[in-house]
Structure 1
């Protein structure tokens, strides 16, 4: 597949282009075939948290979600990078009680909530964050829950050779159509393995969530995940967040999930399209601007919705007084 120019995101301060970011994008149809792209579809990168919906599939397919009577908000949390708001922590605590998970079972380290108001409240109360404040606690809850349902000891579930990781490699291999036992891997911020794959493979993987040719079990699991995220987008991230805002405003016509180092993945169920986005320099601001522009182009957001989300889709550059001093935009002609 021939290389194309990547999408270019400009950061303006006044009339001057102060910075430029190159962004790679791949769009596929429902069966994973490429329909459009910018840059290099084979660009090798790690999807980080952008593919948590794929990593949550074993929770459903194994029967663990049904056994422990998990609600849709819990399913959404399994796919989340939550911001540590009160309702996030309450739902995760409820999940722990349902499954009888002890806090010591988690390998993801505690950190202060990403939500500023919640973090300030912790500080004001002199309260230390628990492991549930980790933005990946939902994913880890899903992994531990699946282990317990299958009669496995979850101890060491973060290790490459643990059954939990073998299970995740299997589902990622099946959905992305690339053998995850043969690709380079590293350790994600939350402690579990993350795998380097071509951007095209990430988009193909996301297409499995809308692919009518999947097995009945995979289709049912994907539909449940998408329904949960559509109905409970707050639990996918939190208040005042791009992904949550897009899903709410589009009423689920566009479902997006971000990851560290400038990655976004998503699906447009009605359009039968999936996509993966990667800012080459890891800049989240560039990846978000590119994703917003892509959603407008593909019809995931209409013009009115796009403009109503201007804070996220047409972000301004501000100074410490809150004054608008510049703008982030797609370079003209792109």
Structure 2
């Protein structure tokens, strides 16, 4: 009897591998396929799972790249922005008071307000904060949007550039600057764009290109004086204020706290995750095929442990590396775990 044909041709473009498994009762129940690239600033692929040339939307994991023009243009300095605002510019935050109050104050400092945002309203991620709004009879607004910090950054850059109010249009000077920065940092040609959940364009990149951009943020000395300083300030802000990058209970915040000063990590929708590793001078990009967050967090935790920047036993890492599957009676009935290729 001959062996069955593989489900996926390893030579096919876009090839992915099993990265994460769900086990119940000791039996493999589900798998998450995806691809990962670990790159140097020169674009060398140090290690990869799946096809590193596959094209992805980086979604919110690329916010630090979108924020580069804010800093390198001089707009951030002219507006008096500090590390907290720069962290928020890179954030997908919970919409908690620590986030919304800072965004509101930032906008007020520009002589602007919530109606000037173009990200749309969003209910707070945290249930307690959501319930507090309901009890107070207050509706969520655009400052609660997880991308409101990024959009406050866009508005700051827009004031500096003198652009029109609709800063999310793809041909607007703000988005042209973001597109240029993305292309230069990834080294990819123009691969098109899609509209993100916050209405801003999200520019496509290869997985290798995105990992390369993360490595260039990690070791920016080859980017030129102005961009290198901008990249360093954004990475330092993220690592100094992990609570502003996401929020309590979130993977980005908790895992950065577990590796202080060693990594800046950022999740994105549809199973994307990026990591900036200054000590190693490496960048990581991963994409889970089915868009599952449980899988992207598990895979990123496994990579951080594999590269020696995180400890598997740290509670914040362990919660993502091997999260137990608990039923409605509180019984542990299974676990999520990295596949053998990552373990």
- TM-score scaled by structure 1? 0.94
Q: Distance in 1 between matches of 2:144 and 2:341?
A: 43
> In the superposition, relative to structure 1, how do residues 250 and 227 fare at CA in structure 2: closer, same or farther (>3 Å)?
same
Asked if residue 97 in structure 1 is aligned to residue 108 in structure 2, the reply is yes
Q: Distance in 2 between matches of 1:115 and 1:203?
A: 30
Match of residue 206 from structure 1: 214
Superposed displacement of residue 84, structure 1: 0.8
Q: Distance in 2 between matches of 1:331 and 1:265?
A: 19
Structure 1 segment 1-334 matched on structure 2, within 5 A: 6-153=17-164, 155-180=165-190, 183-209=191-217, 210-305=219-314, 307=315, 309-332=317-340, 334=342
Contact 1:254 1:301 in 2 (8 A): no
Contact 2:182 2:203 in 1 (8 A): no
Between stretches 3-12 and 227-236, larger displacement belongs to 3-12
Q: Which runs of 4+ in 1 moved over 4 A?
A: 1-5
Q: Distance in 1 between matches of 2:188 and 2:19?
A: 29
For structure 2, list consecutive stretches of 5 or more residues without a partner in the other structure.
1-9
Contact 1:23 1:286 in 2 (8 A): no
Contact 1:7 1:290 in 2 (8 A): no
Superposed displacement of residue 313, structure 1: 2.6
Q: How many residues align?
A: 330
> In the superposition, relative to structure 1, how do residues 66 and 20 fare at CA in structure 2: closer, same or farther (>3 Å)?
same
Q: Distance in 1 between matches of 2:341 and 2:241?
A: 37
Q: Distance in 1 between matches of 2:340 and 2:141?
A: 46
Q: Distance in 2 between matches of 1:324 and 1:122?
A: 33
Q: Please tell me the root mean square deviation across aligned C-alpha atoms, in Å.
A: 1.7
Contact 1:9 1:21 in 2 (8 A): yes
TM-superposition CA deviations, 1:252-271 (whole Å, max 9, x none): 21211000000000111001
Contact 2:68 2:181 in 1 (8 A): yes
Q: Distance in 1 between matches of 2:118 and 2:46?
A: 39
What secondary structure is seen at the aligned counterpart in 2 of 1:206?
helix
For structure 1, list consecutive stretches of 5 or more residues without a partner in the other structure.
none
Superposed displacement of residue 215, structure 1: 0.5
Q: Distance in 2 between matches of 1:234 and 1:48?
A: 20
What secondary structure is seen at the aligned counterpart in 2 of 1:212?
helix
Q: Distance in 1 between matches of 2:313 and 2:279?
A: 19
Q: Distance in 2 between matches of 1:281 and 1:211?
A: 32
Contact 1:263 1:276 in 2 (8 A): yes
Superposed displacement of residue 309, structure 1: 3.1
Superposed displacement of residue 242, structure 1: 0.9
Q: Distance in 2 between matches of 1:13 and 1:126?
A: 43
Q: Distance in 2 between matches of 1:332 and 1:122?
A: 45
Contact 1:263 1:287 in 2 (8 A): yes
Q: Distance in 2 between matches of 1:333 and 1:159?
A: 42
> In the superposition, relative to structure 1, how do residues 308 and 144 fare at CA in structure 2: closer, same or farther (>3 Å)?
closer
Q: Distance in 1 between matches of 2:178 and 2:122?
A: 25
Contact 2:161 2:173 in 1 (8 A): no
- TM-score scaled by structure 2? 0.92
